[in-house]
């Protein structure tokens, strides 16, 4: 095992892997900084590009993009008060006011250093939690997988949507879509509308590309006249050193934010936006000077950025160990893993241990690279935000989505599927149905159905169907978690006042 770990660590520094990490982080920062382009979208577009690569090269590239894009979102949050990715929403609260005071460089450096530290803490959790969890996953039978998916769905419905009811509808709709194709047990051909291409089910990657990319393109073109006013970005002396000293003096702030980010990341479906907001609220609550938040306080940026970058690794923990994505970008990474023939679970840490650990170690390098790349590319990125026209970017994205969805099976039908879900995603978004719950429903649907039906069969064989669902120890823990997460909005409403950031 030690040999594999050591070899994997060295493998990160092979010239090709190093190149892919640098390219991934660099392009991730650019994508994340551009409003409207999210980490999920970047990974969704690039997944098909990686299928001709060796698994490790593809994963290293996508991991670099994921880390870079989540950090990159802070640029536009600070410079134009528009989060480049949803994860950077909380960064706008203090980042933009700070930039308005003329301290945009200080704000970016704070975001950069806290992102790096938060990201590294997150990877630490990933390294130490994943192997035991993957071993525990061997104890998961059909009932446990059923309850795990139920838990994931309640979380996404309660946390990731503005309206709980619409989140639940989205999740259920995704589950229903997942039933299209041949039934996993029984072999019925279901809901194919007479189309042979649908017998294999809805392609996960075309659906993901459609849901996450096409609505953005439409919005981008509708707002074609919109131009952003970027606040000036000027370098100042000794800022990096001063910020670093400031952070060293506040280890609890950064550690708490990173732990919140990791935990939120582990919860299936909850993304960086939630991590950032929760962490920001906790920073306000714990601070001796809460009135300073929202007016350009450095701790606000630190809390948000350390948390959302730690969430990246956190979201990979349930993905790599159980096959349940912790966040939307991780859901797309699941597609990349499956495309390479790698099934998440214990196999990843035994059969494919070399690839998996190289991927995990590459995240350390990706987070470290954010420091120089973020600080030195600031000027260029700020120019890019103003100068890159949507009229070029939008058709370029459409072009990539067409290539991406076609190249998976060399089938034009996948392009039509991608477009259908893209348009559905746009209409849904206008009506208040976010893509997150639907996509999670599609991903979890097959696992949920197989778990449910197999459990019923097991129960029948044992003589009691209910016992199999409600008496196994891991199932009981998952049931408690599911009920807690389903009831959480009601409890929060009953006990909680307004959130800290709303008090500002």
Partner 1 sequence: MKNADRISAGVIIGISAYFLIETRSFEKFGSFFPVVIAFVLAGFAAALFVASFIRKSEEEKKEKIKLSSVLLIILIIVAWAFFITVIGFLVTCILFFLLVTIAYDRRRRDLRHILIKVGAVGTTVTAFYFFFAKFLLVPFPRGLLF
Whether the Cβ atoms of residue 315 and residue 330 lie closer than 8 Å to each other: yes
- Least Cβ distance, residue 218 to partner 1 (angstroms): 5
Annotate 344-359 with three-state secondary structure. CCHHHHHCCHHHHHHH
- Least Cβ distance, residue 95 to partner 1 (angstroms): 22
Query: At which residue do the structure tokens 């026209």 appear?
Result: 389
Whether the Cβ atoms of residue 408 and residue 205 lie closer than 8 Å to each other: yes
Choose among 411, 326, 309, 283: nearest CA to 32: 309
What is the spatial distance between Cα 381 and Cα 61, in angstroms, rounded to a whole number? 20
Binding residue (CB under 8 A) for partner 1 from 97, 336, 449, 469: 449
Nearer to partner 1, 180 or 243 (CB): 180
Residue 431 as a binder of partner 1 (CB under 8 A): the answer is yes
Binding residue (CB under 8 A) for partner 1 from 1, 54, 195, 412: 412
Q: Bridge partners of 181?
A: 190
Binding residue (CB under 8 A) for partner 1 from 23, 221, 286, 481: 221
Q: By rule CB under 8 A, what string of x and - marks binding of each residue 356-395 to partner 1?
A: ---------------------------------xxxx-xx
The piece of 280-288, 320-328, 374-382, 451-459 that touches partner 1 (CB under 8 A) is 451-459
User: How would you label 228-262 residue by residue, b for 16+ Cβ within 10 Å and e otherwise?
Assistant: eebbebeeeeebbeebeeebeeeeebbebbbbbbb
The piece of 34-42, 246-254, 446-454, 483-491 that touches partner 1 (CB under 8 A) is 446-454
Annotate 462-490 with three-state secondary structure. HCCHHHHHHCCHHHHHHHHHHHHHHHHHH
- Least Cβ distance, residue 408 to partner 1 (angstroms): 10
Residue 466 as a binder of partner 1 (CB under 8 A): the answer is no
Binding residue (CB under 8 A) for partner 1 from 159, 312, 319, 415: 415
- Least Cβ distance, residue 399 to partner 1 (angstroms): 6
Residue 423 as a binder of partner 1 (CB under 8 A): the answer is yes
Q: How far is CA 49 from CA 55, 59, 340, 454, in A?
A: 12, 11, 12, 36
DSSP string, 149-216: HHHHHHHHHHHS-SSHHHHHHHHHHHHHHHT-EE-TTT--EES-TT-GGGTT---HHHHHHHHHHHHH
Residue 458 as a binder of partner 1 (CB under 8 A): the answer is no
Nearer to partner 1, 165 or 380 (CB): 165
Residue 15 as a binder of partner 1 (CB under 8 A): the answer is no
Whether the Cβ atoms of residue 70 and residue 308 lie closer than 8 Å to each other: yes
460 φ, ψ (degrees, to nearest 5): -65, -40
Q: By rule CB under 8 A, what string of x and - marks binding of each residue 321-360 to partner 1?
A: ----------------------------------------
- What one-character DSSP code corresponds to residue 339? H
Residue 9 as a binder of partner 1 (CB under 8 A): the answer is no
Residue 488 as a binder of partner 1 (CB under 8 A): the answer is no
Whether the Cβ atoms of residue 53 and residue 398 lie closer than 8 Å to each other: no
By CB under 8 A, the residues from 163 to 202 that bind partner 1 are 165-166, 168-169, 172-173, 175-176, 179, 183, 185-188, 190-191
What is the spatial distance between Cα 151 and Cα 478, in angstroms, rounded to a whole number? 7
What is the spatial distance between Cα 424 and Cα 321, in angstroms, rounded to a whole number? 31
Which residues in this chain contact partner 1 in the complex, by CB under 8 A?
49, 52, 165-166, 168-169, 172-173, 175-176, 179, 183, 185-188, 190-191, 214, 217-218, 221-222, 224-225, 389-392, 394-396, 398-400, 402-403, 406-407, 410, 412, 415-416, 419, 422-423, 426, 430-433, 448-449, 452-453, 456-457
């Amino acid at each position: 095992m030690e040999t594999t770990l050591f070899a994997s660590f060295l493998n990160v520094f092979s010239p090709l892997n190093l190149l892919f990490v640098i390219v991934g982080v660099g392009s991730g920062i650019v994508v994340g900084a551009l409003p409207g382009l999210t980490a999920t979208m970047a990974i969704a577009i690039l997944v098909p590009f990686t299928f001709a690569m060796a698994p490790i090269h593809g994963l290293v590239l996508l991991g670099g993009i994921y880390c870079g894009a989540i950090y990159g979102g802070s640029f536009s949050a600070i410079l134009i008060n528009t989060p480049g990715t949803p994860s950077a929403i909380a960064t706008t609260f203090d980042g933009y006011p700070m930039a308005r005071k003329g301290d945009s460089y200080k704000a970016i450096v704070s975001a950069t250093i806290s992102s790096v530290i938060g990201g590294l803490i997150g990877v630490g959790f990933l390294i130490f939690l994943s192997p035991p969890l993957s071993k525990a996953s061997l104890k998961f039978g059909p009932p446990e997988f059923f309850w795990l998916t139920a838990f994931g769905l309640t979380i996404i419905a309660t946390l990731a949507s503005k309206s709980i009811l619409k989140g639940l509808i989205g999740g259920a709709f995704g589950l229903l879509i997942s039933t299209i194709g041949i039934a996993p047990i029984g072999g019925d051909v279901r809901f194919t509308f007479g189309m042979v291409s649908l017998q294999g089910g809805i392609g996960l990657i075309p659906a993901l590309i459609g849901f996450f990319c096409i609505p953005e393109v439409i919005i981008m073109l509708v707002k074609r006249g919109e131009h952003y006013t970027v606040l000036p970005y000027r370098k100042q002396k000794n800022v990096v050193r001063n910020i670093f000293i400031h952070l060293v003096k506040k280890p609890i702030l950064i550690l708490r934010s990173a732990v919140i980010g990791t935990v939120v990341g582990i919860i299936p479906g909850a993304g960086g936006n939630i991590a950032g907001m929760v962490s920001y609220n906790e920073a306000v609550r714990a601070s001796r000077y809460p009135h300073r938040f929202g007016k350009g306080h450095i701790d606000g940026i630190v809390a948000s950025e350390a948390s959302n970058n730690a969430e990246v690794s956190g979201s990979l923990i349930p993905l790599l160990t159980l096959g349940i994505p912790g966040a939307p970008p991780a859901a797309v990474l699941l597609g990349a893993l499956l495309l390479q023939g790698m099934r998440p679970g214990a196999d990843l840490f035994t059969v494919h241990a070399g690839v998996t650990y190289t991927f995990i170690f590459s995240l350390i390098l990706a987070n470290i690279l954010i420091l120089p790349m973020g600080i030195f590319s600031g000027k260029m990125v700020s120019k890019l935000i103003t100068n890159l026209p949507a009229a070029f970017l939008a058709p370029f994205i459409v072009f990539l989505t067409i290539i991406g969805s076609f190249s998976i099976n060399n089938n034009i039908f996948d392009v039509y599927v991608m477009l259908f879900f893209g348009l559905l995603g746009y209409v849904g978004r206008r009506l208040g149905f976010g893509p997150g719950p639907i996509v999670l429903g599609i991903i979890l649907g097959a696992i949920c159905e197989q778990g449910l039906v197999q459990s019923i069969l097991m129960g029948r064989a044992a003589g009691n169907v209910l016992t199999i669902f409600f008496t196994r120890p891991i199932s009981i823990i998952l049931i408690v978690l599911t009920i807690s997460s389903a009831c959480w909005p009601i409890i929060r409403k009953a006990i909680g006042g307004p959130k800290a950031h709303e008090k500002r």
